[in-house]
Structure 1
Amino acid sequence: MIDIDRHRHEVETAVAFLRERISAPPEVLIQLGTGLGELVRAMEVECTLAYEAIPHFPRSTVTSHAGNLVIGRLAGKRAAILQGRFHCYEGYSAREVAFPIRVLALLGAKTAIITNASGGLNPAFQPGTIMVLNDHLNLLGDNPLRGPNVDAWGVRFPDLSTPYAPELRDLALSLAERLHRAEVTSGTYVCIPGPSLETPAETRFLRLIGADAVGMSSVPEILVALHAGLRVLGLSVVANVNDPDHFQPILLDDIIAAARRAEPRLQQLIIHILAELTP
């Protein structure tokens, strides 16, 4: 049984810790995924805190995730950047994975931009495609909202008929057109547990059920953001595309390298989104 009183105490302790160390709450939280940690270079940084310095934050064990919370201003907006994330395959529950999102929502964030690197399932995609999420499939077998609900944080049964804010999706796609970014498109993301990568049969199955890209993250964080009432924009960098009939080995180092090659384009898109973001 989930000890909801303990969880609530840990969240509130982390919120109080951060509130004492920042000058104003963030308007936007941005979570950066595998190979996508360099956005902070464009930021006017107020403070940087390692995850291990924040009470009750999980510890990131993936080498491509820096593990820092960076707070400051980006494109004129107060922002909190999560430089790296946690995954269920590291041994965390979905609730633990989404812990930082809950903390930043209670700290005052109203908009969440969640990014990740994924594998392409849609044969029309190319490596380096940036997919604006319009829907998702949760195949993790866990949900961060499982267990007793804290009514002050959100409703027991949150509506997910429109999980990704239409105005943010439209803004991202229109900006991509104005920036002449033909590689930006939209699609459905599927989250699997990992850490093993997909077999050819699994790839066929995921295509069959309507997924355009597959990854091992983001959905727990998105669910908590939605539960907390935040507007959510999901952006996925498609690092590779595999044909299940001519399957090629998938190596994590290749995924990270591909994500880093696409990172400058993703950064540019996020900065332009923030510059035009309205409350």
Structure 2
Amino acid sequence: MSSQAENNGHAESVVAKLDETVSAIRSKVKNVPRVGVVLGSGLGAFADTLGDLVKLPYDTLPNLPASKVVGHAGNLCFGNVDDVPVVCMQGRVHLYEGHPVWQVVHGVRTMARLGVQCVLVTNAAGGIADGWSAGDLMVITDHLNLMYHHPLIGPNEEALGTRFPDMSNAYDAALRAKLANVAKKENLALREGVYAGLLGPSYETPAEIRMLRILGAQAVGMSTVPEVIALRHMRMPVAALSCITNMAAGIGKGELDHKEVEETAKARRADLQRLLRGWILAAGAE
């Protein structure tokens, strides 16, 4: 077997690893979550607002490594938003940390196997579009996979999905509409755009940002794309939301710093919590 296939998790079946993780979770948590949420850099505080909160640190569960990146607590959180049962990933691992791609997507695949009906993926991103500024919120309408990694390379797991999954509606239109409706109700400005996923961990050069603008991206980041591909392979409806935490290289002034990412996300925490709460209630009602 090739090293690439092993890196994608096929030396041991991805399904077997999922079964192991799900079994460990179900021995600790009995509720079946209806909605899944991935909380990106600086956005993890939402999980602490769940009712009847139960936290399972990633490192206490098989096959779920903890992130070493500041702003990613590394907990699988179970609880409720009113009467909607929810599971939240409080932080994620990234390809740039050296994890194989199967581990990067293992968390969202686990949520799908636990029985959620839909998933919202969030991230902190750099803004590319003219007229945008740090603190803007963007619903992702599509993505560019420029990570040069793909979670489906290797033997296909037929138990999860088809060999050639369609990605024409990767970001579910109905779930995006629910975000827009909640934002309007809460009087929150919400942009839309294409997210470019790059490997990182270095920030992009000004030349790379100019390239991304030509390609049609409005935001850039180092996550989300592998997770969305893995979820759509499983035919899981997905929506995604970016918090524009900084303007990208060559657009903003000064050096880019991860501390700015955390500070901007913290400044929008209350608005994000209102948006996430409203979306969960709308998505979970069905």
TM-score clears 0.5: yes
- Are positions 1:270 and 2:276 aligned together? yes
Tell me by how many angstroms 1:92 deviates.
1.3
- Distance in 2 between the 1:164 and 1:253 partners? 29
Report the alpha carbon displacement of residue 8 of structure 1 after superposing the two structures with TM.
2.7
Moved more, 266-275 or 40-49: 40-49
Q: Distance in 2 between matches of 1:42 and 1:15?
A: 24
The answer for the alignment partner of 1:26 in structure 2 is: 33
Residues 144 and 195 in structure 2, CA contact (< 8 A), matched pair in contact too: yes
3-state SS in 2 of match to 1:244: coil
Is contact 1:123-1:241 (8 Å) kept? no
Match 1:139 to one of 129, 142, 146: 146
2:57 matched to 1:50? yes
Residues 57-136 of structure 1 mapped to structure 2, 5 A cutoff: 57-136=64-143
CA distance in 2, matches of 1:100, 1:196: 24
- The one-letter code matched in structure 2 to 1:249 is E
| More displaced 10-residue stretch of structure 1: 245-254 or 194-203 | 245-254
Q: What is the CA deviation profile of residues 216-268 of structure 1, one whole-angstrom value per residue up to 9, with x for unaligned ones?
A: 00111111111112110100000112472675311111111111111221111
CA separation in 1, counterparts of 2:64 and 2:46?
Answer: 21
1:238-277 map, 5 Å: 238-242=244-248, 244=250, 247-277=253-283
State which of 191, 199, 206 in structure 1 corresponds to 2:197.
191
* Structure 1: gaps (5+ residues): none
| Count of matched residue pairs | 278
Partner of 2:239: 233
Asked if residue 160 in structure 1 is aligned to residue 200 in structure 2, the reply is no
Find the counterpart in structure 1 of residue 177 from structure 2.
Answer: 170
Once residues 38 and 58 of structure 1 are traced to their aligned partners in structure 2, the CA distance between those partners, rounded to angstroms, is 20
Indicate how the Cα distance of structure 1 residues 125 and 245 shifts in structure 2: closer, same or farther if over 3 A, else same. Answer: closer
TM-score between both structures, scaled by the size of structure 2: 0.93
**Bigger Cα displacement from structure 2, 208-217 vs 253-262:** 253-262
Return the offset for 1:166. 0.6
| CA drift at 1:91 | 0.4
Rounded Cα–Cα distance in structure 1 between residues aligned with 2:211 and 2:253 = 14
Once the two structures are superposed, residues 124-145 of structure 1 have per-residue CA deviations (whole angstroms, 9 ceiling, x without a partner) of: 2121111001000110100111
Q: Which residue of 1 aligns with 2:20?
A: 13
1:175-216 residue CA offsets vs partner (Å, 9 max, x unmatched): 21222112x111100110000001111110111101000000
Say if 1:39 and 1:190 are closer, same or farther in 2 by CA, change over 3 A. same
Moved more, 146-155 or 234-243: 234-243
User: Aligned pair in 2 of structure 1 residues 266, 245: CA closer, same or farther (>3 Å)?
Assistant: closer
Equivalent position SS for 2:243: strand
Q: Determine which of 187, 198, 206 is the counterpart of 1:200.
A: 206
Structure 2 stretches lacking a partner, 5+ long: none
Q: CA RMSD in A?
A: 1.5
The CA deviation at 1:7 is 3.0
Q: Percent identity?
A: 34
- Ranges of 4+ aligned residues in structure 1 off by more than 4 Å: none
